[in-house]
Amino acid sequence: MADQTQPWAERTVEVPPQPGVVPPQRDAFRRGVAAVGQPRTPRTEQFPAVDPGDWTGDSSPRRPMGWHLAQLRRGGEWSAAGALFAFVCWGIWAISGRGDLAAPLLTFVLSLLTAVGLFALARLLGRLVLERQLGRVRRSARGAHLVTALFLAGVGVAYLQQTEWVVSAWNWVTGN
């Protein structure tokens, strides 16, 4: 047994040799001798080779679907704020019409579908310009969400400009 006066970190326990068990070899390490000229493992990964059968020419590694969805969600608060503003403005315009809500509802749904198409177009342009041409990695969809939010804010303002009492109130406030 080890001397109890030594600190616990310096105590060693002798294990008797067991039959059939070969202790690991320590060729790479020798006490007091520096390992100079030994080949080291690279710290970074090599770029994956492009598969000649890959018609896209994309050499980036495949990522799981959850990673792509998380990337699309980043910046979504911009699109949500734009959609909320457009919905409130549409509601004011639709209620002021005092008629059937079927046609106004169809226009709002078409406006939202146009915003989704604009979002997809902004993502496509970002992929072509940022990733393919400039070689940058996109970590979020904030730019596409911002473009979509600006579009939806413009849609909301257009709804308000078609509402007579809002236009007259605006003219009264600005003095026109």
Per-residue tokens: 88: 């409130």
2 touches 12 (CB < 8 A): yes
Q: Is the pLDDT of residue 28 over 80?
A: no
Residue type, position 32, single letter:
G
Tens-place pLDDT, residues 157-175: 999 998 888 888 888 898 8
Tens-place pLDDT, residues 107-139: 999 999 999 999 999 988 888 887 778 877 777
Structural domain spans, the chain: 65-169
Q: Which residues, other chains included, contact 79 with Cβ-Cβ below 8 Å and sequence gap of 6+?
A: 115, 119, 145, 148, 149, 152
Q: Is the pLDDT of residue 46 over 60?
A: yes
Dihedral angle of Cα 57, 58, 62, 68, to the nearest 10 degrees: -130
C-alpha 149/C-alpha 119 separation (Å) is: 9
Confidence of residue 100 (pLDDT cuts 50, 70, 90): confident
